[in-house]
Amino acid sequence: MRSIGDAAYLDVDLTKGTVTARVLPESIYRLYPGGSALATYLLLQEMPAGADPLGPDNILVCAVSPLANLPIAGISRMTIAAKSPLTGAIGDSQSGGYFPAELKKAGWDAILVRGRSERPVYLAIHNDKADLRPADHLWGKITGEALDAIHAEFDPKAEVIQIGPAGENLVRFAAVISMLNRANGRTGMGAVMGAKQLKAIAVRGTKRAHLVDPEGVKALASSITARLKENPEVTGLGKYGTAGAVNAQNEAGGLPTRAFQTGHFTTAEKISGETMYDTILKERDTCYSCAVKCKRVVAVDGRVDPKYGGPEYETIATFGSYCGIDDLTAVAEANQLCNMYGLDTISCGATVAFAMEMVEKGILTAADTGDPDLKWGNAAAMLRLVKRIAHREFIGDLLAEGTARAARQLGRGAEQYVVAVKGNDLPAHMPRVKRSLALIYAVNPFGADHQSSEHDFVTAFPMDHWMRKPLNQVGQFPMMDATELSLDKVRFALVTQQFYSITDTLGLCQFVWGPAWQVFGPNDVVALLKAAYGWDCSLFELMQAGERRINLMKVFNVREGLTRADDRLPDRLFEAIPDGPSRGLKVTRAELEAALDAYYAMAGWNQAGVPTGGKLDALQLSWAKTLLPTV
Amino acid sequence: MRSIGDAAYLDVDLTKGTVTARVLPESIYRLYPGGSALATYLLLQEMPAGADPLGPDNILVCAVSPLANLPIAGISRMTIAAKSPLTGAIGDSQSGGYFPAELKKAGWDAILVRGRSERPVYLAIHNDKADLRPADHLWGKITGEALDAIHAEFDPKAEVIQIGPAGENLVRFAAVISMLNRANGRTGMGAVMGAKQLKAIAVRGTKRAHLVDPEGVKALASSITARLKENPEVTGLGKYGTAGAVNAQNEAGGLPTRAFQTGHFTTAEKISGETMYDTILKERDTCYSCAVKCKRVVAVDGRVDPKYGGPEYETIATFGSYCGIDDLTAVAEANQLCNMYGLDTISCGATVAFAMEMVEKGILTAADTGDPDLKWGNAAAMLRLVKRIAHREFIGDLLAEGTARAARQLGRGAEQYVVAVKGNDLPAHMPRVKRSLALIYAVNPFGADHQSSEHDFVTAFPMDHWMRKPLNQVGQFPMMDATELSLDKVRFALVTQQFYSITDTLGLCQFVWGPAWQVFGPNDVVALLKAAYGWDCSLFELMQAGERRINLMKVFNVREGLTRADDRLPDRLFEAIPDGPSRGLKVTRAELEAALDAYYAMAGWNQAGVPTGGKLDALQLSWAKTLLPTV
């Protein structure tokens, strides 16, 4: 008999063609309460060590927030995790939209996919019913067409996550797309689905939330919503969306430009959120139950269809400044291509930029690339290359392997120009400016990530007063010193990483729940979990869950053979920024090594970066000790 | 300019005869927010390594709760800490009453005492004014007489903490007494005052609380008080007080009897809280702003004066069952003697029991003791011995050194019968029955203590769901298995120790704030700190503060030369309990060593029990690393 606090998941064996409902008891679920923690737990339990990421032994898990179906802003999110074909480490990606709530309404907290189907299939879920259906007719289709077909043949109201041709073609940074305009983008989860011949998962859920205290949830929802609407820090995001960051980053010298060669892009204004708002923005979109509406919808007649959404800040940077491109329409078109073909916009843009730098450095020639126009600032060549990557055509076949693998295959000194950690391309935040990111980019188990910790530009942080400096003269929290990776900053990085680890576990949108903690925040989550599940947990318990997830991910990586040597930064970050507001800033190798020493020690890991037995015991992960190599 | 969140303390130099007001900035205070954490911090900052506990270099700190003056139950408490003359380790003791609130109302968060006065003195504080006054005329007086004298000459409304003749005579377990009936009892803080020739501290405070949000505090106070009054778990303590534990402990075989030889005392009923209630209880007393009234006031014509209060559970056990005595009036009289002379009732009763066992074992003879009646069960001899200890007369002079030193001096195999950890006699809870206490008794920095962690008989615990087992059939939390010191129980001990470390830091009464967390608890404290000081802290920050205090205490001990070998239990606990409900239970040496291994590892300490640099960094105690010996 399943109780309210238990988790239910579908165990899909593509090799056998079976779908089995399973229950994870509350006693386990509360240790790994949803999202990334639950996905990592299941992955580590079920995937044999050394699995080929593109083979049948890899496991893919989709896991939603335990609160995903509640009528509250910013809690309808989902993690997709698997061993990453891009990095060989744990893969992890997040997205919002409407799929997570729909899956939860169908009664499921997670989906585990194992094996490999002989033929393309998709998984169709209608509440308790779930079955695998042929997808031969969908294979090769872009996302817009496949979505229409699934809506037509399964349920017009179904929410769908799917891969596009890029995933089918095993592009190592292929994404999983939902609603045509959201992506579980990072670390190549789309390639894992492609390798398994799983085109899509469609779900229709009509169940009402089964809650311990429905009135309590309702009251909290009203209270949180009211506070949210009054909070300009959150609602302010609505106007320009994440694209509002373009100008701010550029002014700080933190807008990665020409593959991180510099942090200032002279014509950034042309690709800014403000310019988008004034020109191609058609409307604003939202995720389930969210009033913020940060999502962009853009339209350009004949070139950009609004159904594919609009570019986020990261996408603008990677296809824009990373490539020296200031053509906003071209950026929006690249965004559309990625959503049609199922590509991670960050890695895809970074890969195009890498190719452009290869040309600049003479490592690739026009003969190699098949495109004499492929150089900094050329939007048309950028768009051509995106399509070639998706289809693995010409040089796109090499680049579809990701920058790190491509550079290794190229030789000729190409590797020094790879701007990635563990093979995962750097998101559009500059570690030479936000120094704590240098550390987090290095240590984050799934490679460089910008949403796994608080950045240096912290305005307020709920967990620990001591991570910020005293109020300045005008009563604001000044940003931390950008030019040092001090012991305080290492601790700041570690603790905020643990907090953000909760957000990716409980499926909290960081744009909603991150900045506004004084208005609503962790204590509301504690109250929600109590009202929804009767869990009498505490912020302490949640912080432990966050730390538990990070340690579990680390155990996964150690088991897969990663070492301290994989917690390293690309060469580029050790070069001084040559111009702009952040001119002269660089990370030093000694600084990074000292920070790694300190981070590992503070984390309760040994100096090889492996969690100690005591730390695993303290986190109730004693079972995971057996997964580590004996020293 | 002092701000609301800063701490203010008096720095008293008895050698120089000076009293200096000092401010500790909020930036430091929040790391060590009051009570034991603040006291330990100041002690470690100010006391040179290797100080003689009874010499002028020792430092004594009184530190109150940052909330001590608020009209709320269970937050008016104070720590007294110093290097312990009983243990050579950190000394730490807690008490409630009215002194803490009065000190805070005078504007002070702590008093630091250094040096040694040439003549007996007392410190008289009236709000901002503080001066040292002669106490020659008070020296040698019992507490009741000294209190009257201070009230007459200084201020009749002054609250006073003082030592009695025992402290003057440097009895190593002398207590500091307030209101004649409360004690900072443990670890010999009274002897430290005696050695410094500081008879008393008297304070009169008339300032109103200076709060950031007075209305917010008022609302919280009303809300907490209302919830408290409705909570039978808390208010229920009022009827029988802590003495209500006698029968319950005895029924579980956990009432230490005849120096822990067994856990069942056949006539325990005669010294129970219920019997007290029916016979000698005169009224119930309370601490500042508390409606629980758990404090006993007993009266027996011609023998027990109600102004000296009444015995708590620990006192009943140590003078009762520890000694095989079932005479409640005699126990009450022993309690009175301890409050008159200034003795820790736990160590004093345990020391009498030790002496009785020495007689039983033939290690002491009637000629040695000067009292042929000194044997199990003899109340008159017990009372005689208490007086002799206070005055260091006859065998009392040896026993005033504490059981551990006395046994070493006795030789003849006496040491095997010492029931103490680090020289601190075991409180009246049975580690063979409540197994997690075996570990905490061993590792607690100031020796065996029963209020430094949650016991195995946990009914509910706020911090972490995972520390308890699932609800049983009747919806209650079953007690943990008493017969194993499992990895789970080690973790339970560690985490609850961190939580109780907060209570002794923020000055929270564990009887009020311990059991009722679902009604009011940690989140109320977070809210109170916000309303009172504007501190936007969190439960996570508080838990870190609790862990920080424990690590700081450990650093103190390491600096004083203590090692893993000091984290050991007395031989008695490795003997099976011979009879009663807990018959056969014992701790094994292998079990304890394994638990120590696990505890250290989980705590982030090395296997020698020394905090790692990484743990100290993580707790913002990097400065303390220099105090540790280099390995």
Write down the pLDDT at residue B470. 38
| Chain A nearest C-alpha distance from B359 (Å) | 45
List the single residue in A with minimal CA-CA distance to B488: A620
Torsion over CA: A318, A323, A324, A330 (sign): negative
For residues B248 and B455, the answer to whether their CB atoms sit within 8 Å is no
Band (pLDDT 50/70/90 cuts) for residue A631 is low
pLDDT in tens, A508-529: 998 888 654 555 577 788 889 9
pLDDT in tens, A142-165: 999 999 999 999 999 999 999 999
pLDDT in tens, A581-594: 999 999 999 999 99
CB contact under 8 A, A540 and B464: yes
Tell me the chain B residues in contact with residue A540 when contact means C-beta distances shorter than 8 Å: 463-464, 539-540, 543
| Chain B nearest C-alpha distance from A547 (Å) | 12
pLDDT in tens, A242-294: 999 999 899 989 999 999 999 999 999 999 999 999 999 999 999 999 988 89
Cα dist from B428 to A265, B172, B270, B323, whole Å:
72, 20, 17, 12
Nearest one of B248, B241, B224 to B516, comparing CA atoms:
B224
Tell me the chain A residues in contact with residue B603 when contact means C-beta distances shorter than 8 Å: 614, 618
Tell me the chain A residues in contact with residue B459 when contact means C-beta distances shorter than 8 Å: none
List the single residue in B with minimal CA-CA distance to A527: B523
For residues B269 and B262, the answer to whether their CB atoms sit within 8 Å is no
Distance CA B436, CA B482 (A): 8
List the single residue in A with minimal CA-CA distance to B615: A602
Band (pLDDT 50/70/90 cuts) for residue B463 is very low
Write down the pLDDT at residue A391. 98
Burial of residue A394 (CB within 10 Å: 0-12, 13-18, 19+) is: middle
Tell me the chain A residues in contact with residue B602 when contact means C-beta distances shorter than 8 Å: 614-615, 617-618
CB contact under 8 A, A539 and B539: yes
For residues A431 and A485, the answer to whether their CB atoms sit within 8 Å is no
pLDDT in tens, A225-255: 888 888 777 777 889 999 999 998 999 899 9
Chain A: residues touching B (Cβ < 8 Å): 27, 30-31, 460, 462-466, 470, 487, 490-491, 494, 518, 522-523, 526, 535-541, 543-544, 598, 600-604, 612-615, 617-618, 620, 622
Average pLDDT, chain A: 92
| Chain A nearest C-alpha distance from B495 (Å) | 9
pLDDT in tens, A459-499: 444 444 444 443 334 333 444 555 678 888 898 889 889 98
Report phi then psi at B21, rounded to 5.
-85, 135
pTM over 0.80: yes
Band (pLDDT 50/70/90 cuts) for residue B459 is very low
Distance CA A473, CA A79 (A): 41
Band (pLDDT 50/70/90 cuts) for residue A3 is confident
Tell me the chain A residues in contact with residue B463 when contact means C-beta distances shorter than 8 Å: 538, 540-541
Report phi then psi at B178, rounded to 5.
-125, 145
CB contact under 8 A, A604 and B617: no
Q: Residue A458 pLDDT > 60, yes or no?
A: no
Kindly state the percentage of chain B with pLDDT values over 90: 81
Distance CA A174, CA B111 (A): 65
Of the residues A602, A607, A619, A625, the best mutation for testing chain B's interface (the one with the most B CB atoms within 10 Å of its CB) is A602
Tell me the chain B residues in contact with residue A624 when contact means C-beta distances shorter than 8 Å: none
Write down the pLDDT at residue A465. 43
Q: Residue B480 pLDDT > 70, yes or no?
A: no
List the single residue in B with minimal CA-CA distance to A467: B620
The one-letter amino acid at A521: G
Contacts of B328 (CB under 8 A, 6+ apart): B270, B271, B275, B276, B279, B280, B316, B320
Distance CA B84, CA B59 (A): 10
Write down the pLDDT at residue A437. 92
| Chain B nearest C-alpha distance from A616 (Å) | 8
pLDDT in tens, B320-329: 999 999 999 9
Write down the pLDDT at residue A232. 78
Chain B: residues touching A (Cβ < 8 Å): 27, 30-31, 460, 462-466, 470, 487, 490-491, 494, 518, 522-523, 526, 535-541, 543-544, 598, 600-604, 612-615, 617-618, 620, 622
Report phi then psi at B95, rounded to 5.
-155, 165
Band (pLDDT 50/70/90 cuts) for residue B230 is confident
Q: Residue B479 pLDDT > 90, yes or no?
A: no
Write down the pLDDT at residue A534. 86
Write down the pLDDT at residue A461. 44
Band (pLDDT 50/70/90 cuts) for residue B474 is very low
As a whole number, mean pLDDT of residues B485-505 equals 89
DSSP string covering A7-25 = EEEEEEETTTTEEEEEEE-
